[in-house]
């Protein structure tokens, strides 16, 4: 790096994360990005799939841990494996396509074949190896995999704590989030994928940023009914952001929608009146109608799980770093598996309304993040300020909390970043 200033050289990685700010180089320095792929993404639990994405034996999904391609696959005994997508012969990927179903993985280059658990089954023309090929040593590299509430995580670091310990108090919020199945299993039913020219941590911050909502999403707020607009007018409201430890945080925007199975007697919002009528006409009892309708609207909080997944109101936000200034985002829609068709259609339409390249919300977020990255190339010695809500931060049983538009969740994520990067 020839264009670093002296001041930047003088700062250690640890110095670059302060209690109330982080250094601009965290967005812009390619060397830091390289280290993140190793010290963050290869050293902690990383979300790879929701169980519903690989429903049957042989179902697989291709994804990445950091920048490394991995296959998430369910074997014949329903056990989930996460395998590096790299043939052990000469490195070609053994599986392509976003998802599918298979009975084995066969490398297209020389035909080495692997079973669903990654074991090397056979190689064409083995005679040339003269029985010296250590087949047992040459399976696809298999990672440690653990699952909580249908969320599948993998890690490249075998000796870290169990997933449930890593998640800690976040587990309670995951359980609450899954209530939007309204009693039906949660199902990922597609996703919007997009990229923006900016660092991955800009997006990580955004999921715990209530402050931007009324400004960046003004055009979205203008497109919803008055009652919904008032519900989404949460900045300055009674919500809060809580640091849950290990980089995780929850931002509660609409406190009355924390538990979707409570307040079932509250009036049905006007925007769901028609849906409620249709559900009643289908024969659903009143309490069931209320439960489904409430679930359709989604949870009143965003749970940010470090480093790459968020349970965000009504969808999963998946974050995939590409380079220091390029990030891919997936917004996966959630439906009720086997639930009423009209309710699932409502979920799909709500998702399309805000998310995706033609949504009324995501493109504006993306534009703002792009401008953060562009602006960050000015003033190399400047800092990203994260001190909002610091003054009002108070200890809680699970961590620390401040007001709904506090930058508490971002501070939590950067402290975890610092811990991993300086380990």
Partner 1 sequence: MNTELITQVAAFIWQEADMLDHGEYAQWLESWTPDGLYIVPIDPEQTDFANTLNYAYDNAEMREKRVARLGSGESISTSPVPRTVRDVSRFRVLSNDGTNVTVRCAQNLREFRKDVLKHYTADVSFELVRSGGSFLIRRKVVRLINSTDTLQGIGYIL
Q: Does 333 bind partner 1 (CB under 8 A)?
A: yes
Do residues 316 and 188 touch, judged by C-beta distance below 8 A? yes
* Angle at CA of residue 148, ends 330 and 404, nearest 5°: 60
Smallest distance, Å, CB 348 to partner 1?
A: 5
d(CA 319, CA 64): 10
Q: Which stretch binds partner 1 (CB under 8 A): 106-114, 117-125, 256-264, 355-363?
A: 355-363
Nearer to partner 1, 247 or 340 (CB): 340
Taking CB under 8 A as the criterion, the residue among 304, 344, 373, 405 binding partner 1 is: 344
Q: Does 206 bind partner 1 (CB under 8 A)?
A: no
Size of the site for partner 1 (CB under 8 A): 35
Nearer to partner 1, 259 or 328 (CB): 328
Binders of partner 1 in range 235-294 (CB under 8 A): none
Smallest distance, Å, CB 10 to partner 1?
A: 35
Q: Does 209 bind partner 1 (CB under 8 A)?
A: no
Nearer to partner 1, 17 or 334 (CB): 334
Query: Would you give the binding string for partner 1 spanning residues 141-180, x where CB under 8 A is met?
Result: ----------------------------------------
CB count within 10 Å of CB 91 equals: 12
Nearer to partner 1, 219 or 263 (CB): 219
Smallest distance, Å, CB 188 to partner 1?
A: 10
Smallest distance, Å, CB 86 to partner 1?
A: 23
Taking CB under 8 A as the criterion, the residue among 113, 223, 387, 396 binding partner 1 is: 223
Q: Which stretch binds partner 1 (CB under 8 A): 128-136, 142-150, 338-346, 409-417?
A: 338-346
Q: Does 67 bind partner 1 (CB under 8 A)?
A: no
CA 422 → CA 44, 76, 275, 413, 414, distances in Å?
A: 14, 41, 52, 14, 12
d(CA 65, CA 327): 13
Q: Does 356 bind partner 1 (CB under 8 A)?
A: yes
Q: Does 200 bind partner 1 (CB under 8 A)?
A: no
Q: Does 341 bind partner 1 (CB under 8 A)?
A: yes
Smallest distance, Å, CB 194 to partner 1?
A: 5
Smallest distance, Å, CB 197 to partner 1?
A: 9
Binders of partner 1 in range 358-387 (CB under 8 A): 358, 360, 362-364, 366-368
Q: Does 353 bind partner 1 (CB under 8 A)?
A: yes
Q: Does 86 bind partner 1 (CB under 8 A)?
A: no
* CA-based R_g, the chain, Å: 23
Q: Does 192 bind partner 1 (CB under 8 A)?
A: yes
Smallest distance, Å, CB 75 to partner 1?
A: 27
d(CA 203, CA 5): 26
d(CA 343, CA 269): 15
Q: Does 328 bind partner 1 (CB under 8 A)?
A: yes
Q: Closest by alpha carbon to 245, among 21, 387, 416, 407?
A: 416
Q: Rule CB under 8 A: which residues touch partner 1? A: 98, 189-196, 216, 218-220, 222-223, 328, 333, 341, 344-345, 348-349, 351-353, 356-358, 360, 362-364, 366-368
């Amino acid at each position: 790096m020839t264009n670093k200033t002296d001041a930047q050289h003088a700062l250690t990685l640890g110095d670059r994360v302060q209690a109330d700010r982080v250094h601009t180089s965290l967005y812009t320095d390619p060397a830091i990005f390289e280290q993140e792929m190793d010290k963050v993404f290869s050293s902690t639990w990383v979300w790879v799939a929701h169980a519903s994405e690989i429903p049957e034996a042989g179902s697989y999904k291709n994804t990445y841990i950091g920048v490394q391609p991995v296959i998430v696959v369910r074997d014949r005994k329903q056990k989930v494996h996460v395998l590096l997508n790299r043939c052990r012969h000469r490195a070609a990927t053994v599986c392509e396509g976003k998802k599918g179903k298979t009975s084995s993985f066969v490398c297209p280059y020389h035909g080495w074949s692997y079973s669903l658990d990654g074991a090397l089954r056979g190689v064409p023309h083995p005679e040339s190896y003269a029985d010296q090929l250590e087949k047992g040593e040459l399976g696809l590299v298999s990672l440690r995999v653990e699952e909580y509430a249908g969320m599948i995580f993998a890690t490249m670091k075998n000796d870290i704590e169990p997933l449930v310990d890593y998640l800690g108090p976040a587990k309670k919020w995951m359980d609450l989030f899954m209530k939007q199945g309204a009693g039906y299993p949660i199902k990922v039913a597609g996703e919007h994928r997009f990229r923006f020219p900016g660092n991955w941590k800009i997006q990580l911050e955004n999921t715990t940023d209530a402050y931007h909502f009324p400004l960046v999403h003004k055009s979205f707020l203008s497109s919803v009914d008055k009652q919904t607009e008032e519900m989404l007018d949460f900045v300055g409201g009674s919500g809060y952001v809580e640091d849950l430890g290990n980089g995780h945080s929850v931002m509660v925007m609409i406190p009355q929608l924390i538990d979707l199975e409570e307040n079932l007697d509250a009036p049905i919002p006007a925007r769901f009146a028609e849906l409620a009528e249709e559900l009643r006409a289908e024969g659903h009892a009143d309490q069931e109608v209320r439960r489904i309708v409430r679930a359709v609207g989604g949870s009143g909080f965003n749970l940010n799980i470090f480093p790459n997944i968020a349970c965000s109101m009504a969808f999963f936000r998946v974050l995939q770093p590409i380079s220091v200034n390029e990030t891919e985002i997936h917004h996966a829609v959630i439906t009720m598996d086997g639930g009423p068709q009209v309710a699932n259609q409502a979920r799909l339409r709500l998702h399309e309304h805000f998310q995706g390249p033609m949504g009324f919300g995501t493109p504006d977020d993306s534009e703002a993040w792009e401008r953060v990255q562009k602006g960050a190339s000015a003033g190399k010695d400047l800092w990203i300020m994260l001190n909002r809500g610091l003054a009002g931060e108070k200890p809680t049983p699970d961590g620390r909390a401040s007001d709904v538009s506090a930058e508490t969740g971002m501070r939590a994520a950067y402290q975890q970043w610092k811990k991993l990067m300086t380990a």
